[in-house]
Structure 1
């Protein structure tokens, strides 16, 4: 464990437990963010089967920029830098405070969200991960500044203690994933405005999503990982094996009906 790492204060822990999310400002340095950014932009130059399967034809980019820059799934399985930051001590220490136990890494993703790309309909992560007991926690690292214009994440505070809702069909014109969870009556979605290097931690039951990137010249890149507590006994098979901070594997019992975090329109993932 590195020395001098940030842990969460009682006030921050109380906010996370009450609101369901917490932003840690400047958790990663400019140099660390540059390493993440450069790594994934280099990876995006070619197809990586099962991880990143773009359509390189430029004509498709006009139709849908996400065809050229789809999200990367499980890059930690093919890239050491992705594994390094998924298991980074800065993140794992904060997660241990939020879980009240050591964390196990379940998934890494990289979202490019290029200019004019659709967003992702509101959803709950543990609908997909199916962590038992308890729930998962996400660590959402802003690789670019994330604001209203380029489609930052929206969170619905206080839904972290809600049950998992049955999703409805999303609007395919605005969301690249096909499932949508309504905002409960009396609550509202609020934007998580973030600078490069900020990390948003949020509960797996928290309703969240994003709008379209409305800019014509800015990406909204983010490195996103999901975690479970070490007391986890079950998880969806799509996310196994789990990893301890030291890189060793954990293989809990598998829950049925596993899948990625939000199925895409016209896309079928193996379960």
Structure 2
């Protein structure tokens, strides 16, 4: 099912509507947050980085060498590399007022916790349905994602699918995902009576969603279209703990902040060790 503009889109300058939609669905879309020139700069910089030196950002080797995603691995925490152009871009945008104003309307004053870049080239597998706060383990509240489309993102090239209303469920221990469809192993099924909605986004649109909201994507079935995205995660400044790999957090003024480290095993029990999402 493809989401209509009416279903997900909310104007950025209407904080009441933003909060109401977020409370109801746990997900909303704000169109045209970033302009074409900014998107071109993001796309060009990250493509240059992955082709010139994909190891510089400590890319996770999570697929076999023959997999297309071995050539285009997801970049984790590029904002921590200010010596690289991609790091400068991520560091600037994670505190960009256009994004932070929406984040603040939804969860109050916030810290940046994570940056990621996904390339998802043609034929690449998707990512099974999951919940972000399984990884971040922000407490007492949850994290919030700001998912920026760098390309046209739709069903054909594996655009994001979300389950409106699923943010009200607890974070659960995933089951095993279908390795033919997903490059990650964990799968969280939508709650009974809820179903996934396929988003349709233009470059520069941003999807904001709750850390408990179930979301994921199917494979890129096209032969010539990437589905690139730049993603940030935020946590309320009132948070008391988070998984240690996400620190230091980034304040709106760019200062680095530390809070308590999350302990215990999370929803998978005491033997579980958190991994970067």
Same fold by TM (over 0.5)? yes
* Residue in structure 2 matched with residue 44 of structure 1 by the alignment: 50
CA separation of 1:54/1:181 partners in 2, compared to 1, >3 Å: closer, same or farther?
A: closer
Cα distance in 2 for partners of 1:54, 1:259 equals 13
CA separation of 1:95/1:129 partners in 2, compared to 1, >3 Å: closer, same or farther?
A: same
> How far apart are 1:54 and its partner, in Å?
7.1
Cα distance in 1 for partners of 2:18, 2:95 equals 22
Match of residue 240, structure 2, among 228, 233, 238: 233
* Residue in structure 2 matched with residue 208 of structure 1 by the alignment: 215
Cα distance in 2 for partners of 1:115, 1:151 equals 9
How does 1:186-225 map onto structure 2 within 5 Å? 186-225=193-232
Cα distance in 1 for partners of 2:88, 2:17 equals 35
Matched, 1:15 2:21: yes
Cα distance in 1 for partners of 2:54, 2:163 equals 35
| Contact in 1 for aligned 2:27/2:164 (Cα 8 Å) | yes
Q: Secondary structure at the match of 1:149?
A: coil
CA separation of 1:13/1:180 partners in 2, compared to 1, >3 Å: closer, same or farther?
A: same
Compute the RMSD of aligned alpha carbons. 1.8
Match of residue 73, structure 2, among 49, 70, 77: 70
Using the size of structure 1 for normalisation, the TM-score is 0.89
Q: Secondary structure at the match of 2:105?
A: helix
Matched, 1:184 2:187: no
* Residue in structure 2 matched with residue 266 of structure 1 by the alignment: none
The 10-residue stretch of structure 1 (111-120 or 81-90) with the greater mean CA deviation from structure 2: 81-90
* Residue in structure 1 matched with residue 274 of structure 2 by the alignment: 258
> How far apart are 1:259 and its partner, in Å?
1.7
Cα distance in 2 for partners of 1:239, 1:53 equals 16
Deviations 1:64-113 (A, max 9, x none): 210100100001111111111122111111101100x2110000000000
The 10-residue stretch of structure 1 (63-72 or 9-18) with the greater mean CA deviation from structure 2: 9-18
Cα distance in 2 for partners of 1:17, 1:53 equals 34
Aligned length: 251
Unaligned runs of 5+ in 2: 1-10, 82-86, 264-272
Unaligned runs of 5+ in 1: 262-271
CA separation of 1:47/1:53 partners in 2, compared to 1, >3 Å: closer, same or farther?
A: farther
Using the size of structure 2 for normalisation, the TM-score is 0.87
* Residue in structure 1 matched with residue 251 of structure 2 by the alignment: 244
Structure 1 moving runs of 4+ over 6 Å: none
Match of residue 164, structure 1, among 147, 171, 191: 171
| Contact in 1 for aligned 2:169/2:191 (Cα 8 Å) | no
Cα distance in 2 for partners of 1:237, 1:182 equals 27
> How far apart are 1:185 and its partner, in Å?
1.3
Q: Secondary structure at the match of 2:201?
A: coil
CA separation of 1:20/1:53 partners in 2, compared to 1, >3 Å: closer, same or farther?
A: closer
Match of residue 92, structure 2, among 77, 84, 88: 84
CA separation of 1:7/1:259 partners in 2, compared to 1, >3 Å: closer, same or farther?
A: farther
Cα distance in 1 for partners of 2:152, 2:144 equals 22
Cα distance in 1 for partners of 2:57, 2:261 equals 20
> How far apart are 1:6 and its partner, in Å?
4.2
Cα distance in 2 for partners of 1:69, 1:248 equals 31
